[in-house]
A and B are shown apart, each in its own frame.
Chain A
Amino acid sequence: MKSRLRENLRAYGFLAPALLLLGVFVVYPIVGTIIISLETQSGLGLGNYLEVLSEKSPSKALVIPGNLGGPPPWGALVHNMVWILVHVPLTTFLGLMLAYMLIHVYGRSLVKSIVFLSMIIPMVVGGLIIRFIFDSQVGVIPRIFDTLGVESLARTWTAYPETSLASLILGSVWLWLGFSLTIHSAAVDSVPRSLIEAARIDGASEWQIFRRVIAPAVWPATLTVMVMTLLWDLKIFDIVYAATQGGPGGSSTVLAYVMWLYFARALDYGRAAATAVILTILTLAAASYMIRRSLRG
């Protein structure tokens, strides 16, 4: 008994510096933010939250129910949701698919290194690149649609409310693919070759091998990618800031950008803190739901 107590004390002794740092730089700011978010002119209350949630101006609104049938702006919260719904499955699937295809490619380690290099691009730069990719003069995507004769998509995507959110989401797929590919590639490489060989002898097609042998075997990696991508999408800021500033007309705002507007533009710390807390709660909820689901499955 005594020795176990001593063990524990010693363990905490070693943990203390790290815990102290976490306390100062994580716990204290969280608690501080929550307190600030609850402070109103009439004392502590939920006033900031109600105001943030019922905000009507397109650049700061979280939900714009009236617009949901048509093109954006739909409100930052909805934009985040759409982002997740498109980005998570697309990035996950493409990364896995490419990783599997790469095992058949001679010199794949070189390809992987290049793709991995793309991950060191700062996201702000990534946002600028997105602007160029979707620019009507120099961008590759509008040029393609121009050649195809699709007028509505042959213009600068980031400049129109109909296309600005879409350009950011598609751009983020490209920016984030390296992450998905790198994680999946490591997992796919660790699947014993003999499993693929066995499946091939058993008469499975490439798609069946991918679907029934590879994908289940790398599921833990896929889950990691999905959770990380989801969290990244919830917290997304830098791309939006660099590419569209949430515009035009609030058509590409996201939660973190709204928070930044309150904080840096309106200097309204109460509402900024409330938005931050909402974001944190969503992030925590999403992460814990996915992790719990995966542990059960």
Chain B
Amino acid sequence: MASVRLEGVVKRFGRATAVNRVTLEVGDGEFFVLLGPSGCGKTTTLRLIAGLEYPDEGRILMDGEDVTYKEPKERNVAMVFQNYALYPNMTVYDNIAFPLNVRRKEIGLTREEIREKVLEVARMLQIEELLDRKPGQLSGGQQQRVALARALVRRPRVWLMDEPLSNLDALLRVAMRAELKRLQKELGITTVYVTHDQAEAMGLADRIAVMNRGKVVQVGTPREVFHEPSHIFVATFLGSPPMNILECTIEPRGGGGVVKCPGIERPLQWSPGGVERIYLGVRPEFIRVERSPGPGRWEATVEVVEPLGTEAVVTLTIGGAIVKAKVLDEGYRPGETVYLELDWSRVQAFDPETGRAIGELARTLRGLAG
């Protein structure tokens, strides 16, 4: 168990900067998730923590001790590789037992104790029947569970997991997720977990770091990053479908002002200094679709309906802009005219130049709701 700290870590590969000034603090026993699109530097960050790469700048600390240039072995971390990295000539059993076998003397385990540990973790990951096979005789999902088992069989200071469930079917993935979370909480082993699957991140994480192009954009609890994105990137990366972004302006009008979005207008009881461009963010969940007009409802046209069971994602055009709404599936048909109602208490505002959230403005917009 350990805390992990990255301070201004930079890693370059030739001209490309894979990790750009990342500063992170992972608490002791925390389940920390790195989330971001492909190529954003998640694996590289994990490899830096593991000691497989050395940073070009910055420091890495474990429990306050500088480990920036220490060997992986000295850091005592276990890692699940994105490409599994199973030893092809060993059986599944020997693969899982390998980390225990190579330091059997150091940790003082008997062969029998190792056997018990391997069997236990194999049972948990449902790979007991595969123990005598070679990795080449396994499916991708089975190999992935063996790779996970090889890390889980140890009790290292930190578990590093690079998309360890990406190749499992939906059912198994949910089951494994629960097992993983249970085991991690039970043992309290600090875990840094990489994924680009937001549902996984939301379900597992104590805290999430959302990364983009080598940078950490936001760190926070799943609730925080979902409901209070600090940057337009986070807003549009999370959620399915992600947040709608409308190009709006705020203008003075009469004594007060007005916020003008495509097809939508709403008076403000406060007067902005001049015309200001903003990006208004609304999650699809916070848009209601009605069939009759009314005050605070705006006309829109249904373009596409994607049924999800009880709910449906409805794509609409409103004033030339495209908006997605997640609503109960009421049998909307393409071409139908409907009326939108925004939940103004949940809107976000972003600076069109920097993409940063403008908390104050968002609060003003929300406060005027209803």
Which A residues have a C-beta under 8 Å from some C-beta of B? 192, 194-195, 197-205, 208, 212-213, 216-217, 219
Residues of B within 8 A of A205 (CB): 102
- In the assembly, what is the distance between CA of A195 and CA of B135, in Å? 13
What does the 1/0 interface line of B40-82 toward A look like (CB < 8 Å)?
A: 0000000000111000000000000000000111001111010
Q: Please pick, from A194, A202, A219, the residue contacting B102 in the complex, using a CB distance under 8 A.
A: A202
Quick one: given A194-B85, A195-B87, are A201 and B79 in contact (CB under 8 Å)?
Answer: yes
Q: Please pick, from B78, B83, B150, the residue contacting A194 in the complex, using a CB distance under 8 A.
A: B83
Q: Is the CB of A213 within 8 A of B85?
A: no
Sample 18 A-B pairs with CB under 8 A, ordered by A number: A192-B85, A194-B81, A194-B83, A198-B81, A198-B85, A198-B86, A199-B87, A201-B72, A201-B73, A202-B98, A203-B73, A203-B99, A203-B103, A204-B102, A205-B102, A208-B102, A212-B87, A212-B90
Q: Is the CB of B73 within 8 A of A200?
A: yes
- In the assembly, what is the distance between CA of A78 and CA of B336, in Å? 96
- In the assembly, what is the distance between CA of A208 and CA of B90, in Å? 14
**Secondary structure of the A contact surface, majority rule:** helix
Residues of B within 8 A of A203 (CB): 73, 76, 99, 102-103, 106
Q: Is the CB of B102 within 8 A of A198?
A: no
Residues of B within 8 A of A212 (CB): 87, 90, 98, 102
Known: A192-B83, A198-B79, A201-B52. 6 other contacts (CB 8 A): A200-B52, A201-B50, A202-B102, A202-B150, A212-B102, A217-B89
Q: Is the CB of A213 within 8 A of B87?
A: yes
- In the assembly, what is the distance between CA of A213 and CA of B106, in Å? 20
Is the CB of B335 closer than 8 A to any CB of chain A?
no
- In the assembly, what is the distance between CA of A213 and CA of B90, in Å? 9
Residue of chain B at shortest CB distance from A216:
B89
Q: Is the CB of A197 within 8 A of B85?
A: yes
- In the assembly, what is the distance between CA of A205 and CA of B103, in Å? 9
Residues of A within 8 A of B103 (CB): 203
Residues of A within 8 A of B52 (CB): 197, 200-201
Q: Is the CB of B99 within 8 A of A202?
A: yes
Residues of B within 8 A of A199 (CB): 87, 98, 102
- In the assembly, what is the distance between CA of A212 and CA of B102, in Å? 10
Quick one: given A198-B79, A198-B81, A200-B72, are A217 and B98 in contact (CB under 8 Å)?
Answer: no
Residues of A within 8 A of B102 (CB): 199, 202-205, 208, 212
- In the assembly, what is the distance between CA of A204 and CA of B94, in Å? 14
Residue of chain A at shortest CB distance from B160:
A201
Residue of chain A at shortest CB distance from B103:
A203
Q: Is the CB of B88 within 8 A of A217?
A: yes
Residues of B within 8 A of A195 (CB): 85, 87-88
- In the assembly, what is the distance between CA of A199 and CA of B72, in Å? 10
What does the 1/0 interface line of B88-100 toward A look like (CB < 8 Å)?
A: 1110000000110
- In the assembly, what is the distance between CA of A194 and CA of B52, in Å? 10
Residues of A within 8 A of B81 (CB): 194, 197-198
Question: How far does the Cβ of B63 sit from chain A's closest Cβ, in whole Å?
Answer: 18
Residue of chain B at shortest CB distance from A200:
B72
Residue of chain A at shortest CB distance from B74:
A203
Question: How far does the Cβ of A294 sit from chain B's closest Cβ, in whole Å?
Answer: 14
Residues of B within 8 A of A213 (CB): 87
Residue of chain B at shortest CB distance from A204:
B102
Residue of chain B at shortest CB distance from A213:
B87
Q: Is the CB of A201 within 8 A of B77?
A: yes
- In the assembly, what is the distance between CA of A211 and CA of B9, in Å? 35
Residue of chain A at shortest CB distance from B153:
A202
Residues of B within 8 A of A202 (CB): 78, 98-99, 102, 150
What 3 pairs between A and B have smallest CB-CB spacing? A202-B99, A194-B85, A216-B89
Question: How far does the Cβ of B97 sit from chain A's closest Cβ, in whole Å?
Answer: 10
Question: How far does the Cβ of A108 sit from chain B's closest Cβ, in whole Å?
Answer: 19
- In the assembly, what is the distance between CA of A203 and CA of B99, in Å? 6
Question: How far does the Cβ of A188 sit from chain B's closest Cβ, in whole Å?
Answer: 14
- In the assembly, what is the distance between CA of A63 and CA of B343, in Å? 100
- In the assembly, what is the distance between CA of A200 and CA of B50, in Å? 10
- In the assembly, what is the distance between CA of A216 and CA of B86, in Å? 13
Residues of A within 8 A of B89 (CB): 216-217, 219
Question: How far does the Cβ of A88 sit from chain B's closest Cβ, in whole Å?
Answer: 22
- In the assembly, what is the distance between CA of A213 and CA of B81, in Å? 16
Residue of chain A at shortest CB distance from B73:
A203
- In the assembly, what is the distance between CA of A200 and CA of B78, in Å? 10
Residue of chain B at shortest CB distance from A197:
B52
Give the most central of A197, A200, A201, A205: most B CB within 10 Å. Answer: A201
- In the assembly, what is the distance between CA of A1 and CA of B98, in Å? 54
Question: How far does the Cβ of B148 sit from chain A's closest Cβ, in whole Å?
Answer: 13
Residues of A within 8 A of B50 (CB): 201
Residues of A within 8 A of B73 (CB): 200-201, 203
Residues of A within 8 A of B99 (CB): 202-203
- In the assembly, what is the distance between CA of A234 and CA of B165, in Å? 54
Residues of B within 8 A of A194 (CB): 81, 83, 85
Segment 105-131 of B: residues with Cβ below 8 Å from A: 106
Residue of chain A at shortest CB distance from B78:
A201
Residues of A within 8 A of B87 (CB): 195, 198-199, 212-213
Residues of A within 8 A of B86 (CB): 198
Residue of chain A at shortest CB distance from B52:
A197
Residue of chain A at shortest CB distance from B102:
A204
Question: How far does the Cβ of A212 sit from chain B's closest Cβ, in whole Å?
Answer: 8
Residues of B within 8 A of A201 (CB): 50-52, 72-73, 77-79
